[in-house]
Structure 1
Amino acid sequence: MTRLCYCTNVHPAEDVAGILRQLDAYAVPVRERLGCDRLGLGLWLAAEAAAELAADPAAVRRLRAELDARGLSVLTLNAFPYGGFHQEVVKHSVYRPDWTDPARARYTADCAYVLAGLMPEDADGASLSTLPLGWRTPWSPEADRRAESALRWTAGELRKASARAGRPIRLAVEPEPGCVLDTVADAVRWLVPRVDPEVVGICLDTAHLAVSFAEPEQAVAAVEEAGLAVVKVQASAALHVDDPRDPAARRLLARYAEPRYLHQVREAGERGRVLAADDLPEALETLPGRGAWRVHFHIPLHAEPERPLRATTDVLRRAVAAAGDKVVIEVETYTWQVLPRGADPVDGIAAELEWAQRELVDEGGVR
């Protein structure tokens, strides 16, 4: 599983000791269940832990030794949630601080310096993903200016971290419905005149891509034609329902309307128009339901939801095939604790990784 990993933002730990306890409880058993010598991680570090490690290279070396002893390798970092990702209510707070706040740039730089000390010796480079500037409201031309300035400063820090590592560390901006950079097309338009493509690229979250009703091949081509790169793929599946007015579908959808995370919804309208709701309860009340819905709720990759709902794994396969065989694939199902039907995360993560290895890596996405 040399380019496949799972994201540890599924685990509620925000200090180094807690992270190691969570890895002992979940990552090590997953590795043992898969029967592999090393298991790839997309490590999530909350801001406090990242700052502590970045200030103490010896602490990074100790963490590296602890990971090595457990047969775990950090292939990428998820620097999207700043902290508090497992509070009872997260919703819009996951987008704060946004890229107008210096705290976001500092956190991202800290993560880059930590990653410089954690990436595997045989890796050509590594990446860290970040939010698409912030939630779309409030946003202004002044916010654009401040975000651009912060990204430029952060790019300088990434160059320093890359020099320390002797290999490139790249920032991957992750478009998400409802944010300033809502779609891949939005991200390309905003980033191209403002960033160094050698340092900053795109994180392709395939649930977000599916919710936006984008065609994966066109999205990847647009990134490449603009001179950017897909730096990493977050392998995730959203919910799809063909007929949102079907009573059975609505009853099932209501079970996914949980209070912790935001579950943006998009409806396929006429002539390519896409209708939007910022959360599933709002969609159930306000969207007409005349076209198919896609819901931002990360569904385990190996387990189809109950019909008539289905998962957008077809979008995932196509996106991975379009992105090519060099991109790190990070399985990012952070929703285990809020799924309507309970599941054991060790069993689930292992099954997802087996599915991803078979369907995405061995088969290269689309067969």
Structure 2
Amino acid sequence: MTISYCTNVHPAETVAGIIEQLDRFSVPIREELGADVLGLGLWLSAPAARQLAADPAVRRGLRRELDARGLVVHTLNAFPYRGFHEPVVKHSVYHPRWTEKARLDYTRDCATVLATLLPDDAEHGSISTLPLGWRTEWTPADDSRATAALAELTEYLARLSRPIRLAVEPEPGCVLDTMADAVGWLAGRVDPEHIGVCLDTCHLAVSFADPAETVRLIAEAGLRVYKVQASAALEAPAGHADALARFIEPRYLHQVRALKDGVVHAADDLPAAYGALPADAPWRVHFHVPLHAEPDAPLATTTGVLREAVAALDTPAHIEVETYTWTVLPDFRDHRLVEGIAAELRWAAHHLEGVRA
């Protein structure tokens, strides 16, 4: 399985900015690992994707810049449309929805770009995308519009010179909240040769789903896991939810789930969880934390869910380490980003079955 780190941790939203961040972060990470080649899960803002898709010469130029630096791209992250490092992101990351032409156009642009960037020997490329949209105000008519958009995208993917697969990524609070929701919606509705799922293991852990059972459910529905986002959630044992308060921050949405007596209780953000969720139950928070790091007791992370999920896969997938929250971690130091991401990639290569750095 190929492994990459996701560049949505970096704020650049132009082609020139992306190239600058390759030199500032990606090449030093590769050198820190002592590797000849480093995989990137590249994030492109919508304007950058449009610029690249519109001009083959610009795409080929980016490919040359990557090759010259020992960087390869098997997968793109096309969930955030733009503005992923604005002071407040929260619900805006779920727009545009899959009911809007802008989402289809953006994803087509990303597919065009990836077809050029994909290594010559790659079997296929993958693109992760949002789970249709945030759940509120979603209607049966929206189901129909999203289905039509995905069908149109499938026709486009089938015409590309390289095989590119779309990986739909369920997330707590969205239309496709859990992987079971995603499987139920996608199966029989999409062509599994072109559209499958992205298994984000932080999201999976927050939902309190069983990893091996989830992988089995996907396979039995005739769908493929085209991409795994190797990520870990924060967990507080029963009675210790107050220890999570230091992770409250204004930029991203941090959905919370608590499991009590077999029932999963939900809150849409960490501040809203206090007083709404049972305090005498374990809490899991959608806050991606570095894979190699252990938070201060009594908190823990859900890397065990990640390990079980990857071990259960019987077909190769693109593995993308996606800790985009480095800059909002308590006591973050910018100079630690290169060594921190390198440490995550070392952890993944050591602990995940079949994965190599």
Indicate whether the TM-score tops 0.5.
yes
User: Is 1:280 matched up with 2:270?
Assistant: yes
Q: Distance in 2 between matches of 1:289 and 1:123?
A: 48
Q: Distance in 2 between matches of 1:306 and 1:154?
A: 45
Q: Where do residues 297-312 of structure 1 align in structure 2 (5 Å cutoff)?
A: 297-312=287-302
Deviations 1:207-258 (A, max 9, x none): 0000000000010100000000111100000011112x33xx51x3111111
Q: Distance in 1 between matches of 2:250 and 2:10?
A: 18
Contact persistence 2:168–2:196 (CA under 8 A): yes
Match of 1:200 among 188, 195, 200: 195
What corresponds to 1:262 in structure 2?
A: 253
What corresponds to 1:335 in structure 2?
A: 325
Contact persistence 2:3–2:355 (CA under 8 A): no
| Matched residue SS, 2:41 | strand
Q: Distance in 1 between matches of 2:87 and 2:159?
A: 37
**Given the two structures, how large is their TM-score scaled by the length of structure 1?**
0.94
Q: Where do residues 204-215 of structure 1 align in structure 2 (5 Å cutoff)?
A: 204-215=199-210
What corresponds to 1:81 in structure 2?
A: 80
What corresponds to 1:346 in structure 2?
A: 338
Q: Distance in 2 between matches of 1:291 and 1:22?
A: 42
* CA drift at 1:266: 0.3
Deviations 1:144-169 (A, max 9, x none): 111111111111111122xx12xx21
Residue identity in the other structure for 1:114: V
Q: Distance in 2 between matches of 1:341 and 1:287?
A: 27
User: Is 1:123 matched up with 2:118?
Assistant: no
- Gaps in structure 2 of 5+ consecutive residues: none
Residue identity in the other structure for 1:256: F
What corresponds to 1:67 in structure 2?
A: 66
Q: Where do residues 166-185 of structure 1 align in structure 2 (5 Å cutoff)?
A: 168-185=163-180
| Matched residue SS, 1:297 | coil
**Given the two structures, how large is their TM-score scaled by the length of structure 2?**
0.97
What corresponds to 1:26 in structure 2?
A: 25
* CA drift at 1:362: 5.4
* CA drift at 1:80: 0.3
Deviations 1:21-45 (A, max 9, x none): 1111110000001011110000000
Q: Distance in 2 between matches of 1:193 and 1:325?
A: 21
Deviations 1:280-328 (A, max 9, x none): 0000232122211100000000001111000000000001111246111
Contact persistence 2:2–2:355 (CA under 8 A): no
Residue identity in the other structure for 1:323: L
Q: Distance in 1 between matches of 2:351 and 2:232?
A: 13
Q: Distance in 2 between matches of 1:323 and 1:80?
A: 23
Deviations 1:4-26 (A, max 9, x none): 10000000010100011111111
Match of 2:351 among 355, 359, 362: 359
Contact persistence 2:260–2:278 (CA under 8 A): no
Q: Distance in 2 between matches of 1:23 and 1:289?
A: 44
What corresponds to 1:49 in structure 2?
A: 48
Q: Distance in 1 between matches of 2:42 and 2:353?
A: 20
Q: Distance in 1 between matches of 2:326 and 2:92?
A: 20
Residue identity in the other structure for 1:290: D
What corresponds to 1:225 in structure 2?
A: 220
Q: Distance in 2 between matches of 1:242 and 1:201?
A: 34
Residue identity in the other structure for 1:196: D
Deviations 1:57-97 (A, max 9, x none): 11100000000001100010000000000000000000000
Q: Distance in 2 between matches of 1:11 and 1:105?
A: 24
User: Is 1:13 matched up with 2:12?
Assistant: yes
RMSD: 1.2
Q: Where do residues 86-125 of structure 1 align in structure 2 (5 Å cutoff)?
A: 86-125=85-124
| Matched residue SS, 1:103 | helix
Q: Distance in 1 between matches of 2:305 and 2:226?
A: 18
Residue identity in the other structure for 1:108: T
Q: Distance in 2 between matches of 1:351 and 1:137?
A: 38
* CA drift at 1:108: 0.4
| Matched residue SS, 1:285 | coil
Q: Which moved more, 1:11-20 or 1:288-297?
A: 288-297
What corresponds to 2:286 in structure 1?
A: 296
Aligned residues: 354
